[in-house]
Amino acid sequence: MTGLPSGLVSFLMSDIERSTELVRQLGRERYEGLLRDHRAIISAAVEEFAGRVVDAQGDSTFAVFGRASDAVRAAARAQLELESCEWPDDAVLRVRMGIHTGEATPSEGTYHGLAVHRASRICSEARGGQVLVSHATVSVIEDARDGLGGVSLVEVGERRLKDFEEPVRLHQLSTPDRDAPASAPSRIGVLVVDDQALVRTGFRMILEAEPDLDVVGEATDGAEAVDEARRTRPDVILMDVRMPNVDGLEATRRLLDGATEGPRILILTTFDLDEYVYEALKAGASGFLLKDTPPEELVDAIHVVARGDALLAPSITRRVIEEFVRRPPESARTPARELDELTPRELDILRHVARGLSNAEIAKEAFVSETTVKTHVAHILLKLRLRDRVQAVVFAYENGVVAPGES
């Protein structure tokens, strides 16, 4: 690709929120058709405002603009067009976008470096239908006194981005035609479940200090957690494992058994080798944390699972899974027939996932793009009829795709 701008440029990143659930709903063929239509809409908006699509794979698009104001206007146009489309089977397509401006130089038809990485992380911070814009981008627009054609940018405060130590100021795109979600910051509802009042109070203090987190309720045991979850409909549940009456494991089963959608559950435990943890992951929990996890990691974990991802980042995850799949039940020792549906490449990606690698790490090992990895993972979950990445790890160990302790 030639003619890519250099110097001070603005990057626009986009992807589809909860794309795996769309794959399950539509099936692969219709989902691929939806992807093509969605990419065409975003590409048309990028070209209309003098931008260039650098890369478009899977559900992700990466574009560059010479002017920051053009990136913002293109994002507004794309979101408006996406919302006006009628998608198959009444599918709800929610595209999140992130924009950042910085110095960059193209190399071999693409861009690398911190500015690109920051734009990607800002996109990951957004929720479906939302466009988040870095303060650096807003400052460039203000300095240039560029018009935004009816688009406004509302500050939503500071956010901690993965891989960056310092929090960044972010703004949210708002237009007269899009009252939601752009008119107000998206907030994540959290239910705190623990039998100790002091622990619940501590978590509440940490979470309520965050501008985008709401503690919607508390519960003292698993039975109360199920009732509160049904009443408050939280996005994320912080679930203690060991509680009187109904424990966190049984509560997780009751909340997620047979459910294609539901709250994301983060299991909390005092012990790094707790047998309950493995069973909770099998039941559909999105990950787990030790109770002494630093506050910033707790907040990051909530954001990760609220986006529909699974929390496998802490090194302790791999240790716990390996410890307890050394002796899986007899019924799980025969490899599932669904494995035959995976292509050799998908089976290889599943092995990497089971080792606890992130998409970026898998991309490096497999010599493919991170977007390609994400697409493979979505197909794997669909074929194996799994809820999320955590269940894929458990499935891989139980069915001999990888062996405990294997690196």
CATH number at 389 reads 1.10.10.10
The mean pLDDT of 247-264, rounded to a whole number, is 82
Residues 138 and 204 grouped into a single domain: no
Residues 90 and 194 grouped into a single domain: no
**Closest to 130 in 3D by CA, of 82, 85, 202:** 82
In a domain, 49, yes or no: yes
Alpha-carbon gap, residue 366 to 388, rounded angstroms: 21
**Closest to 391 in 3D by CA, of 302, 289, 278:** 278
Residue 184 pLDDT level (bands cut at 50, 70, 90): very low
In a domain, 265, yes or no: yes
In a domain, 406, yes or no: no
Residues 315 and 378 grouped into a single domain: no
Question: Is residue 204 over pLDDT 60?
Answer: yes
One-letter amino acid at 152 equals S
Residues 303 and 320 grouped into a single domain: yes
> Residue 171's beta-bridge partner residues?
133, 155
The mean pLDDT of 305-320, rounded to a whole number, is 59
Burial (Cβ within 10 Å: 0-12, 13-18, ≥19) of residue 209: exposed
Query: Looking at residue 350, what is its pLDDT?
Result: 92
**Closest to 129 in 3D by CA, of 46, 211, 38:** 38
Query: Looking at residue 62, what is its pLDDT?
Result: 94
Helix (H, G, I), strand (E, B) or coil at 168: strand
Residues 204 and 292 grouped into a single domain: yes
Cβ atoms of 219 and 192 within 8 Å: the answer is yes
Given 268, 295, 324, which residue is the final one in a domain? 324
Residues 62 and 157 grouped into a single domain: yes
Helix (H, G, I), strand (E, B) or coil at 100: strand
Residue 375 lies in domain? 330-398
* pLDDT tens-digit readout, 61-91: 999 999 999 999 999 999 989 988 888 777 8
Cβ atoms of 173 and 68 within 8 Å: the answer is no
Given 283, 300, 324, which residue is the final one in a domain? 324
Alpha-carbon gap, residue 106 to 120, rounded angstroms: 17
CB within 8 Å of 276: residues ≥ 6 apart: 241, 242, 247, 248, 249, 267, 269
**Which range has highest mean pLDDT (179-193, 323-337, 355-369)?**
355-369
Cβ atoms of 271 and 374 within 8 Å: the answer is no
**DSSP label of 25:** H
In a domain, 403, yes or no: no
Tell me the backbone φ, ψ of residue 146, rounded to 5 degrees: -80, 140
Query: Looking at residue 251, what is its pLDDT?
Result: 93
The dihedral built from the CA positions of residue 292, 298, 304 and 308, taken in this order, carries a sign that is: positive
Q: Give the whole-number percent of the chain exceeding pLDDT 70.
A: 85
In a domain, 183, yes or no: no
CATH number of the domain bearing residue 83 = 3.30.70.1230
Token code pair at residue 233: 């409909």
Given 305, 324, 343, which residue is the final one in a domain? 324
User: What pTM does this model have?
Assistant: 0.59
Burial (Cβ within 10 Å: 0-12, 13-18, ≥19) of residue 204: middle
Residues 304 and 353 grouped into a single domain: no
Residues 18 and 105 grouped into a single domain: yes
Taking each helix axis as running N to C, give the angle between helix 359-366 and helix 344-354, from 0 to 180 degrees, rounded to the nearest 10.
130
Residues 44 and 111 grouped into a single domain: yes
First to last CA, the chain: 38
Cβ atoms of 246 and 239 within 8 Å: the answer is no
Alpha-carbon gap, residue 140 to 8, rounded angstroms: 10
Residues 353 and 291 grouped into a single domain: no
Question: Is residue 147 over pLDDT 80?
Answer: no
Listed range (28-37, 179-188, 343-352) with the worst mean pLDDT: 179-188
Residues 73 and 137 grouped into a single domain: yes
CATH number of the domain bearing residue 250 = 3.40.50.2300
Query: Looking at residue 185, what is its pLDDT?
Result: 45
